[in-house]
Chain A
């Protein structure tokens, strides 16, 4: 029962209590804000596996977020217009079922993570940052210039996709879905960190030579971590697109990558609940400061600068009292 555990519990409790309170007092907008927190936190949990556990500073996670979003947009738009996705060599129809869309989002973003990861992990350090950023930008330009699915304008979906037995148009039920997926991802991330794979990955971050000496390949460990990380962020992208019922190339933009990274850092790198705290703070700031000033990003920038320069453990680090997650 250390302090970090209590901070984490309080965070989760808050994330459940606020939408429930909003449900009782009939404030659907607050529920939507909480849903955004849950979905963005999910994207951050994905990035945190690569960043916190693997030490891979990826500035291109918008690529997976966007692919997840477009997986939803493409499947749902085909289902909406009753046109098949491909006819030959086999027939593939669009779908409006969330679980199928999630599977498609996870598989497609994992595949893309495998390609991007296999190439970018040939390098390390500052090269890796620039290359992931560049590949993210590549997909952004591709999404803009590919006219079949809306191009620059994006794709609108008229009705939110369905989940068997639930009414997804009801904000609290959609929040429930997103929150459950967030919990699953947090559970997976926690298990991963203490699994032999997670320990080896952690070791590869601290001392690649030693990991190599005992017969493990840091490259493979990092690639697997990058794929898992991309897949989770892709799932978050599909949910985010479903929340807005809209996909656009801006999901691929470098700002999205930067923002996902900001959630992780504001919360605390390598902390299991860091992304949850970071996303919650980000959305709260956006809501509060955005109401006061049109230029709230200046304050966000200053806050981020202060956190980076002076509070390196992020919010969880400040609250839990231990400076850094990594010793």
Chain B
């Protein structure tokens, strides 16, 4: 193969121009416009929430995310006397409950995915994979109501047990023996909600492990565990982390499943077993019906904070899932 060099006698390459037909130009235009809709929608969401929320953001400044006081005081005739919108408690609750969900859910999901991909027999695997995928399609209201009506009593029992034996660790301590509707219980419900999603993603990632590497490990006398540690985990690590972060984004944006099992209290609470907390999404659901104009704008600002937060988490997650295979080779 000779390389093209600017020598004498060597012709310079011709420039190839493909001029599409009129119908194709139209087609490409329509498809491109359609493709750009997602940009438009995301842009509009950002724009409108910011437009509605800007007043409150300007009024509160950083206090919007550092203060935990959310109150509107009205006099008898309905005029607003004082107002204060701080999201700190809700932010902490959002992050705390979602982190608990990840801490419980991800190990279970990854181990399940390993079992489904490398240990289960063909038949059992088919049934379990269908069940897990079905559960990933369950609407969140199902998890919320089931969590409130069925799971909360058992979760409370475990919370009490944890508090009894590990109460000396600050996060397992409680200021008062109130164990109902705590961040821990919300975290457990969210964990159950994200386990199917994380399992599906992890399994998908593991199943892409190149067979020749797996066989190479086995041919060297590896047990399954050694093979998984040497081949599967290095290959799938970034994908699994990405799946976990998708789960995190999902858990932070969840509304009804948290609304039912988490008390909304305007006070920063890091003690996960104590029944106080809240998350931004459920605050919006709680307040939007009765809010006046000003408070509605504050809720829009809260929505903006939530939107940006989940956007960042999701982008990171997608970046990691997409990086799969690049680290492998």
Whether chains A and B associate is: no
